[in-house]
Amino acid sequence: MSVELFLAISSGVVALASAVLSSRSSRGQALLSARLQEQAEARTRDEAREDVMSRYRDPLLWAAFDLQARVFNFARGPEAFLTLFYERGTPREREYALRNTLFVFAEYLGWVEILRRRVQFLDLGDRADNRRLVELLDGISSTFNYGGASFRLFRGEQRAIGESVITPGEGDACIGYAEFSRRLDDDPTFAAWYAGLTDSLREFAAHPVPHDRLLRLQHALIDLIDFLDPHVERFPSHIRDRLRHDNW
């Protein structure tokens, strides 16, 4: 074999090997770039999910806790909230006991309505968790909806009360207690949505007997709190007691 032919063959082999290596390198770089892009997109989705959770989950969690705590405090015998501050309280205490209780009901329903409008349900990153959250919220809604007249709120009324306390123009927050009180005084249409709850509270304050709907409501809210705060990071276990019939 001549030197010239050998060199030509060698150059061809080297060129072919270089082309193969270059192709593999390019393919490897493309795969690496795709993986990095997928990871970046996954991080973006996770960050967006965390933002949704912090914006909506935590306020819902606090509202649910405040409502269950108020219902729990309805059932403490002579020390019950409505007995102390509505039945036996000063005029100022009576007004606060009634209005603030209406507010904690409304604030919970307000955050549920915000979720319904904005995200339908919280994306917790797991379909089973999403379904469970929807089940819990629907269970609470059903507890309000079915049964006797006392403390009953039909689903449309629940939504209307929730709508009434959403901050105008923003839609991602609920009004505060001061604004809520002002509207009760100044807006008859606003106040009308609370007439049924007001009657139920006054009746219950006068006759604080075991109440099945309130018991089931408090249990359902504790289930929601346990789901939203499973690691007991915000509310310790000892303030998550469940009502019993013998508490009344």
Domain for residue 32, yes or no?
no
Q: What is the pLDDT of residues 203-231, one digit of tens each?
A: 999 999 999 999 999 999 999 999 999 99
pLDDT of residue 222: 98
pLDDT of residue 10: 65
Task: Indicate if the pLDDT at residue 6 is higher than 60.
Answer: no
Domain for residue 39, yes or no?
no
Whether the model pTM is above 0.85: no
Encoded amino acid at 8, one letter: A
Domain for residue 3, yes or no?
no
Q: What is the pLDDT of residues 36-72, one digit of tens each?
A: 777 666 565 555 555 666 678 899 999 999 999 999 9
Host domain of residue 91: 51-247
Domain for residue 193, yes or no?
yes
Task: Find the radius of gyration of the CA atoms of the chain.
Answer: 30
Total domains, the chain: 1
Domain for residue 6, yes or no?
no
Q: What is the pLDDT of residues 157-174, one digit of tens each?
A: 999 999 999 998 766 899
Domain for residue 18, yes or no?
no
Domain for residue 11, yes or no?
no
Domain for residue 42, yes or no?
no
